[in-house]
Structures are given as structure tokens and as C-alpha cells.
Structure 1
Amino acid sequence: MATSRPLAFTNVRLLDPASGYDGPGALLVRDGVIAEVAQGGDVGGLSADIEAVDGGGKLLIPGLVDIRVKTGEPGAEPKETLKSAALAAAAGGVTAIVTQPDTNPVADDPAVVDFILRRARDIELVKVFPAGAATKGCEGKRMAEIGLMHDAGCVYVTDADRPIVDSKVFQRVLAYAKAFGVLVAHRPVDPWLAAGAAATSGEFASRMGLPGVSAMAERIGLERDLALVEMTGAPLLVDQVTTAGALESLKRGKDRGLPVTASTSINHLSFNEIDIGDYRTFCKVDPPLRTEDDREAVIEALASGLVQIVVSAHAPAPAEDKRLPYGEAAPGAVGLQTLLPALLTLHHEGRVPLATLIRAVTCAPADLLGLPSGRLAKGAPADLVLCDLNAPILIDADKLRSKSKNSPFDGRRLQGKVLRTVVDGRTVFAG
């Protein structure tokens, strides 16, 4: 790993959601870690070997931790490689990503986990942590080698977009993972209600002639998952809750003391079903975009802390898979490079406090996975983002660093420009 000279950020607005501090200050980096945090003041005399960055009052936050990222590597590199995903992440202020296991081959054994970790080390950009498959081939039938994958370095297990339909299998996954101290993530959905759907059921889908899935499918799936959590006592990450009904179920489960954490995607915070417009396939995602009432409910849940984590749900798809009739187009949207400015929209609109938003993409996911990053504290990894909170940007999908350009934010004006991204004290992006 390449080393870098010491780095000092002066005259910045420090926002550390882990400690709650939000105010002026400075920060010093040495040997890849945060050596000093000066809240309300400045770091001491800077020697000639230190690179000094005058932040001009701009926002300095921990690097973002995005725990749901799809790449095409291994097996579908034309969609996205680990390097192109890392480049997009660095440009978006994301310093750590968790890759999904539904690759080819599936990351259901230690060898694939080890391959991903070695490739990431060779790339030397952002930190990459693999998620392992919960079942062999993500087929929901037989448990994968959860313990061995955990020993190899996977940070949680999941079957990604595919729900584990067999309740007995999912019970075993939860119980086995708990024994090894491994987190399980699962998408809540009733697969029979969702079969063949391209949109959320309702008046809009009917007018568009699109096959729909009832929002109740998510609630039904979550109720089943919560019952199995109650049975096993195993911790669960609810992967992308998107509907008001499911949020009610989630709240009841958390009120009963169940060990559940919920994430949502930036897509479901930013768009509703109407954004599909004239069959805009870049807005076809999984789960599908919901009603405006659902979007409002998810925003309120994020503000209240019921939903604690926001993910990009980065899912690259090449043009030939998107430029098809809506029902046939592949679901998914790239989101690594747009995650931060899109999230800041909720701050600029006065919907969610800034510290809450930053917490949802820094210390909350880091703490869930036991990672030391996500905070501005002495001794913590120097994973940092310098951001101009108010700088306007126009998203041009063709200029995104992902190999695939399927962004629903294409053409949208946002506020919040990443000026510099630092990983372990190394500058990996400078805008």
C-alpha cells in the first residue's frame, strides 16, 4: 500500500455524527490515521512535510460507507469492474463499499471472498468488503459456508435481490449465522405477489399498462422475517424498506426489542412512481419506485431513526439491458457517485437534519458491521470527504465514472460537490 505525506485540513466545518460535533475546526492526518482533531480551533504548528489544505469553511465529514453495491466482477465485467466501481465511489465521497454476492461465480465460498479482497488491495482506491451469499448460488435451498466466508473476510451474508422463500432454510441461516456472530441481510418481499411485476400496483401502473406488485408484498415478507428473528434471536438487516406498511411492521418489531436494523435506498428517498414518466427505464429499480405517500413515510422514518442506514443500491446495467420496453428492461440504477448530493437534498429542503443524514451513511453502517471508520476521532482511519455543501451540480450520466450509465438522476440539478476524498490518508479523488 502506497504511503502519503501527512495531511492537515484547516479552516473547515467538522461534522462528526458519532460524537455529535458540528462546528469549526481542523484535523491532522499521519500514517493513514487521524492524529489530531481540533474542535473549534486549529492544529498545532505545521512542519514543512505536511500538506496543508485550507478548507475555506467547507464541510469535512467521515468518508461514506455504502453497504449495498453491485459490481460485475467476477463474471460480468462489461457492466462494472471493481476498479470502475471504486473510481465512482471515490468521486462520490464513498470510501468503503460492500459488494453483493450475486456475481458469477456467486460469492458463496471463501475462495471468491478472497478473490474480491485481493483485487481490491491491488486496485488501492477505496476499501472493498465482500458480502457472502447466505445460500449456495443465492438459490435459497442450501446454506452456504457462512463460517468459513466470515473467517475469509465477508462482513455479512445475503442472497441480494433474491428472497429466501423457504422459511425453514431462512431459520437455519439465521440460527447458524448467529452462532458465528455474522449479520444476515434480507430483502423483505412475498415472491409470489411480486412475480412478473415491473411497478408498484395502483392507478399509475394501471394507466401505464405495467404489471404491478402490491406494496403489501413487502409488509408480508417483513412480518415473516420478524417472526423468524423472534424465534432465533438472530440480528437482521432489513434490506431496503420502501413502504409505509412495512415501516409500521418494523416499528412494532423494534418496539418488541427485536435485533433488527433497517436500510433504505437513495432512490426511494428521491423518486416516486410518477418519475417513471414515459416508460423511463433508468427509473426501473428493484424494489420498484413507490407512491409519494410511501416516499414521505420513508423520509420521516429516516428522520426519526426508525430507518438508520441509507445505501446507494448501486446496480449497473449496460445500455442494451436498459433500452428495452419497460417490462423487459433490467432493473437497477448506478448510485455511488450521486449518493451524497442526492442525500443532501433532504437537508437543503429542511426535511432531515444534516447530522442524521451523514450518520446514515457513515458511523451507522460502520458500527453495524464493526468497522472502525465513519467517525472523526483520533486514531480512527483517515477516511475523509471535503465537500462544498451548497455547490450546485448538474448530473450528466455520460460523465459518471461507472462503466454503466443507468442513472435516474441524469439531468437533475443537485447541491453538494465532493472536493476531495481521502482513504487511509491517501487522496483518491480531487475535484
Structure 2
Amino acid sequence: MALLIKNGRLIDPKSKRDEVVDVLIESNKISKIASNLTVENAEIIDATGLVVAPGLIDVHVHFREPGQTHKETIHSGAKAAAAGGFTTVVMMANTKPILSTPKVLTETLEIADQEDIKIEAVGSITQDFDGENLTDFDALREAGAIGFSDDGIPLTDAGVLRKALQKAKLTDSLLSIHEEDPNLIGTLGVNDGEVAHQCGFTGAPTVSEYSMMARDAMIAYETGARLHIQHLSAGESVEVVRFAKNLGAKITAEVTPQHFSITEQMIFEQGTNAKLNPPLRRTADIDKIIEGLKDGTIDVIATDHAPHTHEEKNVSIDKAPSGMIGLETSLQLGLTNLVAKGHLTLSELLTKMTVNPAKLYNFDAGYLAENGPADLVIFDATTDITVSETFISKACNSPFINKQLKGKVAYTICEGKIIYQGE
């Protein structure tokens, strides 16, 4: 059956289109975008007052399957993604076992293929994250890996990174890396500032991030390979990316909604749910991050969705695992802290969550056009919501519980099928 979306405000950042029109979906594709469409026997969605946009794309999620399904499964993660307006996600490799071999990767992708959203995965850069021995990039690509990352484990050996970049360049593969030098860090997950010191330990200073990032950006420049900087958090890191881009390095960078929304002070209020790698920083860092989002230095907004159980988080700050869930609050945080405050237009926010992430991996996604993919999110951009204590994700480790945010997803549509409908 055809699906007809009536009277929505279509925003397509790729074509710069922003107008109230109808969208007709037939045979899993967008068949027509025009005003006053009428179709017999079509299912109709009245999108009056709502935004109709490309389905969101998250290039950085942890679905914990295989091996840690007590935290999240691919199924529960996919459902959470759909509730957040995401139609495509990229899973990281830090499962148990790690996605280091074609066998494990293939088996994982076979599970992912059963879901309503589009789920891709990266393979690990080094064998079982050992930081020394490169995986078989060609074999992993053949098995379905769309890129490579040891996310969560920084590559401390510059020579290993250089070899990996040289190898990736042969097939124009993207390497995504976590930038925190462990030799400069006391306790992970907390900024080395007021909060850590009041807790009685040395935390993770910003220099641990931007110094390693500067090294790796220069290696990427020398090799000519594509390097993606994951979840930067420090103001100086924005300057490093800007410098490397101006030099001509093939660098891209992402930031999470939490890193442009809240500071290290949230640990005093939310405890271990606000413990992250890299940690929440200061207001001055957020200001620089927003500058980087505005001028294009930061290309992508990604959640780093990292589920943990209540029991795992319900320990002292120095012992708790780092990470928070983010798929169900990502759009709202962008609307609340970037659009409503006048830092980005709605189209500019959506660019960071659709067009640009699609470019990283050359996905046929992130745009709305006739004969294009029928992957869409329909949402109210201005309504106020209070974040619930319960999530569609199996986990609830979010520092935004009971916070008031803007925006509400009404429908998520993937390949022409309604896969989420809000209340």
C-alpha cells in the first residue's frame, strides 16, 4: 500500500529544500514530492505542523551483541534508534568477541539484517584490540565491514596507526579513532578539573585528547588517508581539527550531544550516569565545540550510545564504567541546545545528522528526493517533553532523565515502512 505524508514541512539539507509539501511513498521509494497530492487507497499521515526530514544516521553506536546482551541487544538497540528517528546506524567493534574476524562480523551482521532499521558495522583495526597487529582489512571488508575502528581503545603506537592508515588508503577505507592518551590520564571518565579534584583523584585532562589528536592528524596528512575523529570533547581539539583541515588532511570529526549540552558539573547531580570517555568538560569547551559546529570544522553529530546496567553504574565514580545511552535523546538535545538557542538552523542541525554522516561511508541515505530511499523521520521541533525514566533501550544510564527538552518524534519510516509511531 502507498503511504502519503500530507502537509509536512519538508526539510532536505542536501537540496536546501524547505517547504510545506506532500510526500508519496510507493514500493519502498519516494515516488513523488509535490503539493496537494491525492492517491486512492493510500495510508495517510497528516504531518501538519511537523517536520519531515531524512531518517537520521548515527555512525557511532554500541549494541553490545554478541557477548553483552544483558546491557543491550541488536534488537533493543534498533528499537531505541527508531524511537529516536534513526534509520541507519553503524555499530562499533567492541563486542565480545571483538569484530576482528570475518566469521564474527558475518554472524553479527546476519542478526542485524533482521531489524527494521539499516545496521552497518566496522571491523577492528587491530586484532582483538591488541594495539599491535592489524586485522585483515580486505577479508573484513569482504565480510561486510564498512570501515575500521578500535573505538574505546586509543592507538598509542604511532607506527601502528601509520601502517593502518597506509593500508586503509589502498581501498579508501575510513579509520575512526578514539583519542585519549592513557599515559596522561589518572582516572578515566571524569575531566581533570574541579569535579575530579573534589572526588579526590586525578582525572582525564584535555591534553590527553588534543595531543594525541594532533599526532594522528599529522600522520593522516602524511599518508593521505581518511581519518575520522570520534567524540571530541575539548576546545583545543576543535582547533586541531580546523588546523589539519586547512592543511589539507582528509580529516572529519564528530561530537556527541552530551558534549555540547552539559559540563563536568553534571557529575555532582547525576553521578556515574555522567561519567563518559572522553569526559564532560567545561563551558569554555562547549563554546568552542559550538563554534566548530557552526563553521563546519565538526562534521557530524553522533551519539556514542553506550548502554550499561543499573548495577554496573551503581558503584563509586572511580569504579563505574564510562558511557551513556543517547539514541532516544539525540535529536532533542540538538533542538534544545543548538537550534532553540540560535546556534544552528534546523537544516544545519539535520546536515550533521543526515547528509554528512552519509558522506562518510557513501550511504545512499540522508536525503529526500523522488526515486530516492524512503527513509524519513517526522517530528515536532518545538514541543517540550520531559525525558522519561524508562527507555526503549534495555538500559537507562542517561544524565537527562527528568530533564525538559524540545522535540518529539512522531514517526520513523525506513524503506517505506512505519517502524516507529510516537504516542
- Structure-2-length-normalised TM-score: 0.97
Q: Which amino acid aligns with 1:357?
A: L
Residues 44-83 of structure 1, C-alpha deviation per residue, up to 9 Å, x if partnerless?
x3122x1121211310001110010001100010000000
In the alignment, which residue of structure 1 is the partner of 2:345?
353
In the alignment, which residue of structure 2 is the partner of 1:388?
380
- State the 1:337 CA deviation: 0.8
Q: Which amino acid aligns with 1:46?
A: V
In the alignment, which residue of structure 2 is the partner of 1:42?
36
- SS in structure 2 of the partner of residue 35 of structure 1: strand
- 2:315 counterpart of 1:317: no
In structure 2, what is the Cα distance between the partners aligned to 1:402 and 1:225?
34
Which has the higher mean CA deviation after the structures are superposed, 332-341 or 187-196?
A: 187-196
- State the 1:278 CA deviation: 4.6
In structure 1, what is the Cα distance between the partners aligned to 2:370 and 2:285?
40
Aligned alpha-carbon RMSD (Å): 1.2
Residues 108-142 of structure 1, C-alpha deviation per residue, up to 9 Å, x if partnerless?
121222122211222x3211001110110012110
In the alignment, which residue of structure 2 is the partner of 1:155?
146
- State the 1:202 CA deviation: 2.1
- State the 1:147 CA deviation: 1.3
- SS in structure 2 of the partner of residue 165 of structure 1: coil
The answer to whether the 8 A contact 1:303-1:353 is kept is no
- SS in structure 2 of the partner of residue 15 of structure 1: strand
In the alignment, which residue of structure 2 is the partner of 1:119?
111
Residues 372-419 of structure 1, C-alpha deviation per residue, up to 9 Å, x if partnerless?
011011222111011011121111132x01111101111111111100
- SS in structure 2 of the partner of residue 199 of structure 1: coil
In structure 2, what is the Cα distance between the partners aligned to 1:358 and 1:94?
12
In structure 1, what is the Cα distance between the partners aligned to 2:131 and 2:303?
25
In structure 2, what is the Cα distance between the partners aligned to 1:354 and 1:210?
41
- State the 1:146 CA deviation: 1.1
The answer to whether the 8 A contact 1:279-1:326 is kept is no
Unaligned runs of 5+ in 2: none
Match 2:362 to one of 365, 370, 373: 370
The answer to whether the 8 A contact 2:180-2:209 is kept is yes
Moved over 6 A (4+): none
In structure 2, what is the Cα distance between the partners aligned to 1:155 and 1:416?
31
In structure 1, what is the Cα distance between the partners aligned to 2:195 and 2:69?
36
The answer to whether the 8 A contact 1:61-1:386 is kept is yes
Q: Structure 1 residues 21 and 168 mapped into 2: Cα distance closer, same or farther (>3 Å)?
A: same
The answer to whether the 8 A contact 1:24-1:57 is kept is no
In the alignment, which residue of structure 2 is the partner of 1:65?
57
Residues 196-238 of structure 1, C-alpha deviation per residue, up to 9 Å, x if partnerless?
3341112332233242121111111111101211221101001
- SS in structure 1 of the partner of residue 88 of structure 2: strand
In the alignment, which residue of structure 2 is the partner of 1:270?
261
- 2:23 counterpart of 1:31: no
In structure 1, what is the Cα distance between the partners aligned to 2:188 and 2:172?
35
In structure 2, what is the Cα distance between the partners aligned to 1:317 and 1:303?
32
In structure 2, what is the Cα distance between the partners aligned to 1:25 and 1:231?
48
Residues 130-187 of structure 1, C-alpha deviation per residue, up to 9 Å, x if partnerless?
1110110012110012111112221110001101111111111111011122110111
The answer to whether the 8 A contact 2:220-2:227 is kept is yes
Q: Which amino acid aligns with 2:8?
A: V
Paired residues, number: 421
- 2:225 counterpart of 1:225: no
- 2:204 counterpart of 1:204: no
- 2:225 counterpart of 1:234: yes
- 2:5 counterpart of 1:9: yes
- State the 1:279 CA deviation: 6.3
Q: Which amino acid aligns with 1:89?
A: A
The answer to whether the 8 A contact 2:270-2:399 is kept is no
In the alignment, which residue of structure 1 is the partner of 2:128?
137
In structure 1, what is the Cα distance between the partners aligned to 2:381 and 2:222?
45
Correspondence list, 1:257-336, <5 A: 257-278=248-269, 280-336=271-327
Residues 298-317 of structure 1, C-alpha deviation per residue, up to 9 Å, x if partnerless?
11211111101001110000
In structure 2, what is the Cα distance between the partners aligned to 1:279 and 1:34?
43
In the alignment, which residue of structure 1 is the partner of 2:240?
249
In structure 2, what is the Cα distance between the partners aligned to 1:75 and 1:63?
29
Match 1:96 to one of 88, 92, 99: 88
Q: Which amino acid aligns with 1:17?
A: P
- 2:417 counterpart of 1:426: yes
In the alignment, which residue of structure 2 is the partner of 1:173?
164
Match 1:79 to one of 53, 71, 74: 71
- SS in structure 1 of the partner of residue 7 of structure 2: strand
* Identical pairs, percent: 32
In structure 2, what is the Cα distance between the partners aligned to 1:82 and 1:197?
27
Q: Structure 1 residues 147 and 42 mapped into 2: Cα distance closer, same or farther (>3 Å)?
A: farther
Q: Which amino acid aligns with 2:136?
A: E
Which has the higher mean CA deviation after the structures are superposed, 272-281 or 299-308?
A: 272-281
In the alignment, which residue of structure 2 is the partner of 1:19?
15
The answer to whether the 8 A contact 1:199-1:210 is kept is no
Match 1:191 to one of 178, 182, 195: 182
- State the 1:195 CA deviation: 4.5
